[in-house]
Structure 1
Amino acid sequence: MSISCAIVSYHNPPAEIADVLRSVAATPGVAVMLIDNSRDDSLGAIARQFGVRYIHRPDNPGFGAAHNLAIEEALASGATYHMVINPDVTFGPEVIPGLRSYMDAHPGVGLVMPDIRYPDGSHQHLCKLLPHPGDLLVRRFLPTLYSLSGRLDTYEMRSSGYERTMDVPALSGCFMFLRTSVLRKTGGFDERFFMYLEDVDLSRRIGRVARTVYYPAVSITHAYQKGSYKSSVLLRRHIRSAILYFNKWGWFFDDERAAVNRAAMRALEEPALDAKPSPPLANRK
């Protein structure tokens, strides 16, 4: 039972790439591919140091398109699982085996995401409902109003406490553990999304044929740069992706979105059989 993994980089610091490759290398036997969308190939030296496959794409085809190169190889190689991992992620040696064991025991799950923490150990609230246009607009430009309205807590499923395994409509692309048999049905990322919302789109398509699950028994650390909050170029890309997403799935009238989100929130009202107390910050990876 094989696992493949892809990391897409764009001018990331070499030390950051080394950290994520070191995290993956703690689990033997994972086939790793580093797809580098940077203008130069300086990260190739780090890839060679860790013995991973390196593909240089100076034309920068985008996040999803670069990841699809690895997904196609994962399907061709017969891998059972494939991981999509951001370059600003680190984790301990228990993470990949833990996710693999969960997927082995739950064949109806097509995508699982672990618990995700900031470097200080606090939760990143990356479990989300399928977005409404208002969610993205008000959350980005009127965050205080969005938070005070209570909509932020609902959209990010915060009432769960993030301490229970739960079905989540939209999971973050910073760390996706995917069943390749499901990817054969859904395909990989929609390459029309250069970056942003391609993970929501893929989660939604997987959710039509399998479960998409948040599994907090293992945790990773994610630097989470929020690039579109700092760069006007990335903000424009984010807006274009949002327009593309809603053109594809529906803007204000989306019956599927409403049904999926209702089911996810209704499930949170049921008792959590696997809830666990948060570990002390010092013990978190």
Structure 2
Amino acid sequence: MEAAISISASLVLYKNDSDMVNRVIMSTINTPLDIKLCVIDNSPDPNLKTLFTNIEQVDYHYNDANNIGFGKAHNLALSKCRMADYHLVLNPDIYFDKNVIPELINYLENHQEVGLIQPKILFPNGEIQYLCKRYPRMFALFARRFIPQSLHFLIKAYLDWYEMRDMGYDQVADVLYLSGCFMLFRRKYLDEIGYFDENIFMYLEDADITLRMAEKYKTVFYPHVHIFHHWARGSYKSINLAIINILSAIYFFNKHGWKIF
């Protein structure tokens, strides 16, 4: 792999667990490639700043207690990042081995038609997270959020289809909706299609940007390396976040088209 390849990365924080944040930082900077990480901290105080002291690969920016949301904060990071061949969007609740990014970059280098790639995503216990999805459907979003898990057996076939479980999660596949927890973009294609839609505060911004990329370039699930993701599911625990999720869904469907089932 050519040493000249450059990578920027962005990480958005909001009152996150410091041990988790430290783990994703170490995962990123221990990668044997030239990576510069830009951190945007939306938290009400800059307590997490101490994690980044004397780490030269990291640029930390405190947002003065202004929570501008997931997508807008990543866009802010992109505006502050150096120009690079690739850009990696990270969640603060993931971690991964040092071989993950190099293998994904190698695949991108050999497949110029790909604009966005994502590895297999596992729970910390090793179980697969089925985060690849078909085009968002109103019923799927409603069912996953509001129908109790104990009743999911009634719609299991539908949810399995929506989560693309039929592909087995063991082969490279084109996917229209990739998770925002780890998105590796070819930067020139990202510049071309535009960054995250800042009208979406949080939720479905990953679906929106995957769909826009897929209109021109391939958006790929790559299962031969994996990351670990704690997956907080904040909207399942907070009424405010649930409302934000619903508003994001309405905006998304108005923009891209409504599909019920």
Aligned position for 2:204: 197
Alignment of 1:85-104 (within 5 A): 85-104=90-109
The SS at the match of 1:30 is strand
Q: Deviations over 1:39-76 (max 9, x none)?
A: 111111111243310011121110000000122344xx
Structure 1: how far apart are the matches of 2:113 and 2:79?
A: 22
Structure 1: how far apart are the matches of 2:153 and 2:184?
A: 30
Structure 2: how far apart are the matches of 1:147 and 1:4?
A: 42
Alignment of 1:238-277 (within 5 A): 238-252=245-259
1:37 to 39, 42, 46: 42
Aligned position for 1:268: none
Contact 2:134 2:175 in 1 (8 A): yes
The SS at the match of 2:247 is helix
2:240 to 217, 233, 241: 233
Aligned position for 1:267: none
Q: 1:225 to 1:99 in 2, by over 3 A?
A: same
1:46 to 48, 51, 61: 51
Aligned amino acid, residue 16 of structure 2: N
Note the C-alpha offset of 1:156. Answer: 0.3
Matched, 1:81 2:108: no
What stretches of structure 1 move > 6 A for 4+ residues in a row? none
Aligned position for 1:14: 18
Structure 2: how far apart are the matches of 1:235 and 1:130?
A: 20
Identity of aligned residues (%): 44
Alignment of 1:26-175 (within 5 A): 26-27=30-31, 28-51=33-56, 52-57=58-63, 58-74=65-81, 77-142=82-147, 147-149=153-155, 150-175=157-182
Note the C-alpha offset of 1:146. Answer: 5.1
Note the C-alpha offset of 1:135. Answer: 1.5
Q: TM-score, normalised by structure 2?
A: 0.93
Structure 1: how far apart are the matches of 2:78 and 2:118?
A: 17
Structure 2: how far apart are the matches of 1:64 and 1:174?
A: 12
> Please, what is the CA RMSD of the aligned residues?
1.5
Note the C-alpha offset of 1:147. Answer: 4.5
Note the C-alpha offset of 1:224. Answer: 0.2
Aligned position for 1:216: 223
Unaligned runs of 5+ in 1: 259-285
Note the C-alpha offset of 1:143. Answer: 5.0
Aligned amino acid, residue 165 of structure 1: V
Note the C-alpha offset of 1:102. Answer: 0.7
Contact 2:11 2:91 in 1 (8 A): yes
Matched, 1:4 2:8: yes
Q: Deviations over 1:11-63 (max 9, x none)?
A: 11221111110000112420011110001111111112433100111211100
Aligned residues: 252
Structure 2: how far apart are the matches of 1:123 and 1:17?
A: 22
The SS at the match of 2:207 is helix
Structure 2: how far apart are the matches of 1:213 and 1:240?
A: 28
Structure 1: how far apart are the matches of 2:231 and 2:60?
A: 24
Q: Deviations over 1:180-236 (max 9, x none)?
A: 111121110000110000000000000001000000111100000111111111111
Aligned position for 2:28: 24
Q: 1:19 to 1:252 in 2, by over 3 A?
A: closer
Higher mean alpha-carbon deviation, 139-148 vs 195-204, is at: 139-148
Contact 2:176 2:211 in 1 (8 A): yes
Aligned amino acid, residue 8 of structure 2: S
